[in-house]
Copies of this chain bind each other. A is one copy, B any other.
Amino acid sequence: MAGELFGPIFVPDPVREAVSDRAWLQAMLDFEAALAVAEARARVIPLQAAEAIGAACRADRFDAGRIARKGRGSGNPAAPLASALRAALPDEAARWVHWGATSQDVLDTAAMLVARRALDLVLADLDGVATACARLADAHRATPMAGRTLLQQAVPTTFGLKAAGWLVAVSEATDRLRAIQRERLAVELGGAAGTLSALGDQGPHVLALLAEELGLAEPVVPWHTARGRVAELGAELALTAGVLAKIALDVVLLAQTEVGEVAEAAGGGSSAMPHKRNPVAATLVRACAPQVQAQAGVLVAAMAQEHERAAGAWHSEWEALSRALELTGGAGARAREMVEGLRIDPERMRANLDATGGLLMAEHVMVVLTEKVGGPEASRLVEAAASRARDEGLSLGDALATDPGVELSDDEIRRALDPESYLGAADAFVQRALDLVGWRP
């Protein structure tokens, strides 16, 4: 993010730290250190050199700004970092720094390490969101509210089912993101053009050892210009942000002054507008999502990379990936805060259900009447009653009760107009969602 003025509003500090200069520097140094160990294990370089290199690979010993300025000529910070690392070591170790590797190996592997660590934080918040959704779904499985299509009240549903829908979406996104973290974050080691020629016949062996050292997947072949791993990560972050944006959109809409069915715990107004309960967390989730998706678009478009190293598309990834991770982290943290603190107002939900004077239950009345008089006649009767209700300012119940053609008792009418009588599979669906995540209250 832009820095200190906007960043902390959207993104928690630990996430910001996870994609910071320092985190990238340390990840690049972790690559250099692990490469040396792997090469020492493969007897490509001396063990002492590897130990010395490992000891020197601490980010706080290096100056990111100085390295970047030296990196302007080569177009990336990996070469000047290797130089700075060599300069910090005795000759006998220095000569083995970065052995057989190329700048892209450093940066690509560092990107994977940065992503892995950032994803830990993101996933923790997503788990928090899922848990809070499960709690809401369970608690409100019998809380009726208006189901709304095209933002118009349609038929009743429950708040529990709404939260169950959020839950399933978050759970699926989290599963996919976790699979990416587990399976697709891989070490990159290819040397100048992907052949690892400087390592002679030890290339694949060193590659395997390096993957082991760093706990990353071992790729089948170097992926210097096969950017699926980066783009898939971007795409999953975009999908995750999309899931959170949907929840935030529902919250913002439910929190409207005229709807008032939910409120954020922390929502508050100013003294000048004491009635406002701004859905700030939801607002910030909604601000993060399109930015994540735009960054993912950069990563996906960047898949068209030339030959053995791209002239530009690769360089566009670093910022895009950092921002996508960071803003997904922001969206996740703010969504968690939003859902965990969400205040539900079942009375307001009930009041809103009644706002149309029962018209919301017209479909149910029609179902009930269809059993008695068949579909066409039922349809005609309901339309007539609804029309009278609107024209004469009656409730639908009164209109039905005073229509001699409607052969329903008062009790039948009352039951037909009761939202709780027309919730269908809402409760069953809630249970299926809770079962999916193994929810135990």
The verdict on A135 contacting chain B, using a C-beta distance below 8 Å, is no
Other CB < 8 Å A-B pairs besides A10-B315, A148-B309, 4 of them? A75-B150, A153-B258, A197-B424, A242-B303
Flag whether A257 is at the interface (Cβ < 8 A). Answer: yes
A290 and B302 in contact (CB under 8 A), knowing A193-B155, A375-B95?
Answer: yes
A402 at the interface (CB under 8 A from B): no
A-B contact pairs, 15 of them (CB 8 A): A3-B20, A5-B24, A5-B65, A72-B280, A75-B283, A150-B279, A152-B257, A154-B193, A166-B226, A198-B363, A238-B300, A246-B304, A289-B312, A290-B301, A290-B302
User: Which residues of A in the span 223-282 have a Cβ within 8 Å of any Cβ on B?
Assistant: 223, 225-228, 231-232, 235-236, 238-239, 242-243, 245-246, 248-250, 252-253, 255-259, 266, 268-280, 282
Residues on B with beta carbons closer than 8 Å to the beta carbon of A424: 191, 195-201, 203
Of B148, B226, B387, the residue contacting A308 (CB under 8 A) is: B148
Task: Report copies per complex.
Answer: 4
CA distance A283 to B259 in the complex (A): 20
Q: Chain A interface residue count: which class?
A: 35 or more
Is residue A136 within 8 Å, beta carbon to beta carbon, of the partner chain? no
Nearest CB of B to A205, in Å = 9
Distance, CA A415 to CA B158, complexed state (A): 42
Residue numbers in B under 8 Å from A176 (CB-CB): 232
Considering the complex of A and B, which 5 residue pairs feature the smallest CB-CB distances, nearest first?
Answer: A147-B193, A286-B312, A242-B303, A197-B424, A275-B359
CA distance A75 to B382 in the complex (A): 24
Asked, given contacts A6-B319, A424-B197, A429-B222, whether A155 binds B273 with beta carbons under 8 Å apart, the answer is yes
- CB-contact partner of A307 in B4, B151, B201, B426, under 8 A: B151
How many whole Å from A388's CB to the nearest CB in chain B? Answer: 11
For A356, the closest partner residue in chain B by CB is B275
List residues 198-229 of chain A with CB under 8 A from any CB of chain B: 198-201, 203-204, 219-223, 225-228
The reply on A19 being an interface residue by CB < 8 A is yes
B77 touches A161 (CB 8 A): no
